[in-house]
Structure 1
Amino acid sequence: MQTTPPSQNAKRSVLSVSDLNREVKHLLESSVPLLWISGEISNFSIPSSGHWYFSLKDARAQVRCAMFRGRNRSVAFRPQNGREVLIRARVSLYEGRGEFQLIVEHMEEAGFGALMRQLEQLKAKLNAEGLFDTSRKRSLPFLPTNIGIVTSPTGAAIRDMIHVLGRRHPSAQIEIWPVAVQGQGAAQQIAAAIEKAGRSGRHDLLIVGRGGGSLEDLWSFNEEVVARALAASPIPTISAVGHETDTTIADLAADLRAPTPSAAAEIASANAAEILQRLEHIQRRLHRAMDNHLKHSSQQVQLRRNRLRHPKEQLLNQAQRLDHLEMRLVAACQQQIQSRKSQLDSASRAFAHNLPTLRLDNSRKQLIQLKGNLERAIQLILQRGSDKLSHGAQLLQNISPLAVLQRGYAIVLDSENRAIRDSAELDTDQQVHIKLAKGNFTAKVKTIEN
């Protein structure tokens, strides 16, 4: 059988590769709306143009993506291979290679990464406002008598806290503010309970927390509304969220962070437990002291019982003691009489030797003798004074200027009665006064000889 080739004149609709790719691109972009797509980044690259090129993949497929510089500047993180992301993109075709691709307009971290990014951003914001400053942290009350607890009423955390507080601080009153601790609206319930507990004025201390869980489970305690409620609470707060390794924004905003709910109860009852321990220690010491005292008293009673004698024996002893005292009294009286008699004899002999007439004669003789001694001493003192006076007068006479004048000398004085000792002190025709042994006269200087 022979086939007939197509006619050379038949009209054909022929497209170039560029036209085809352009048409397909237009068809894709016009028929497929903006999509939200999640996946893992691979083959990430940044050429000098600043555009981002990468593949988005899951376990069974992948697709090429492009995010141009004008769009990627708004992304708050740097994409990396292996990171899960969520993108908003439109479907397109790269005409140059005829490759199907996504033009990305928005990108955010997906899953855990997105939550961590959101958490860090909120931390930075609240920290910049000073919400986490240690200066605004308040001290816990020494011995809280009324403790409020904001948590789930059915969780293990509340049972643990009640058990610890009951054991360590049994006198404290505990009031539970029941809330949902995870899920939609949980953060708003927690914040509202914190505000109501603060306004009630019943509590000395407020514990806010829950047991452990994943980041998503604990997310209610990373909400801004809870952090601000804790910061605004009028009473001191303890945050006890999750396990020791879990740290939430509520932990940073509260006055104190406890690693676990049980630890929060231990912190709240620390002083009470210490007081109970001290009371127990004092009680033990008191019991020991009472036991020792009773033993000692029992020994004393036994000792006195052994010393207890029959009354007749005691009367005989007392009678014997009375006889002994009587003999001692008689002997003492006789000794006193003999001593007083000896003293009287001595006084009589002394009186005989000290009659007033004898003492008067002796005193008169001593007075005459003392008078003579006094007169001789006065004469001696007067003679010595006269001798000293004569000697002094002679010395004074020897050094007196008047004695010099008696030997023919004279004293020359100027107009101010100052003695002239050097002829250089004189001037011609100067008037001077001359003092002699007898009398004075005035003279005028005619010539001066040096």
Structure 2
Amino acid sequence: MDIPSPKPRARALSVSELNHQVRHLLEVSFLQVWVEGEISSFSRPASGHWYFTLKDAKSQVKCAMFRGNNQRVRTPPKEGDQVLVRGKVTLYENRGDYQIIAEAMEPAGLGALQQAFDALKLKLQSEGMFDAERKKPVPTLPKHIGVITSATGAAIHDILTVLKRRCPGIPVTLYPASVQGNAAAGEIVNAIQAAERHGVADVLIIGRGGGSLEDLWPFNEEKVARAIAACSLPTVSAVGHEVDFSIADFVADFRAPTPSAAAEHLAPDQSAWIRTLEQQSSRLEGITRRLLARLQEQVSGLGGRLRDPRRELQNHHQRLDDLESRLKSSFAQQLQARSQTLSQQQVRLANQSPRRQLADNRNRVSQLKEQLFRELHWQLNEQRDRLGHAAQSLQLVSPLATLGRGYAIVSTRRQPVIRDASRLKPGDEINARLGHGNIDATVTAIHSSLLPSDDDIEPS
């Protein structure tokens, strides 16, 4: 019995080959998708990449957003945020995980850019930056126009074309700046500050051509708005098309719907000026003719009234001679009066000479000195007489005079004057002062009845 040989099996795929084919199939089938969902399991490692899960009530899908793309997201997401993600569907072959590589992200519902626009608009409006009172008037005839836009964009071409057509005599200075991309806002701010430092322009046009909200976003940046508000020059915002509005439009001193419209507004119409100048020139010519005719009539009338110049010169000569004579007479009178005044001043000066005054003062001093000596001599004699009388009066009441009449003053060491004998006792040492000299003695006996009272020995 023959045994049938087994059928050859198809070659088996390796896991890597299978995942590679699935990845290719997913990427070809889904070139780019928008997916809405809630963020969960959000992580941000040191590499700067974002890894998260996007889920709804029934399913979930893993997502990755690499650093180059997530840097363009204005508000980093957080757990629970409902977002819209634009990206490519693919497969992470190493783990066989189906995922989305996100390229853009914005909040679900109202777009992130529109939310940021409305938030900044409300903030600046609350600060009064949109108020008409703070806006500067734009010159009707600018002497020099500064333009802040891209050097290669259509806006500068449109502005120059309009200015050349309407008023080519107005000079224009371009302060180039990027008007799209992440670096554009900083370059616009630097260009505004450079125009102020340059100091030649008296008005600035700030703008660019049309585009999406994302394209026009540099003109919705807060630092650009504040730079426009702080600019000392009048500013004209000309961003996008007529239907486009930016934060710069609200902050600027004047909003033009397009760059061309900004140039139209600032530049006067040269042809209208020429017509106006021609009309004014014609009017001026007519006025000049009438004025010349009137002046000619006045000259003719004055010519008949004009006298002979030689006669006028003779009158002037005679007038000069008369004035010269009066001047000489007046000068002589003044000279004589000044001479008399000088003589009088010399006499007064001689009377008030320091030498004379010094001699008078010396005589006065001598007289006062003699008078002083007389007064001193008289007062000295008078004081001597008064001193003699006082000495005599003092002698009369002096204790020494009493002692001279035979009395004595008795004292002890403890008592300077003894008036009562009862204060002594036999054996006490006493001192008796006489009219001439002292006596030291010792008490041997006391006879109180024989002694006179104190009043009898009191000096008179």
TM-score normalised according to structure 1 size: 0.41
TM-score normalised according to structure 2 size: 0.40
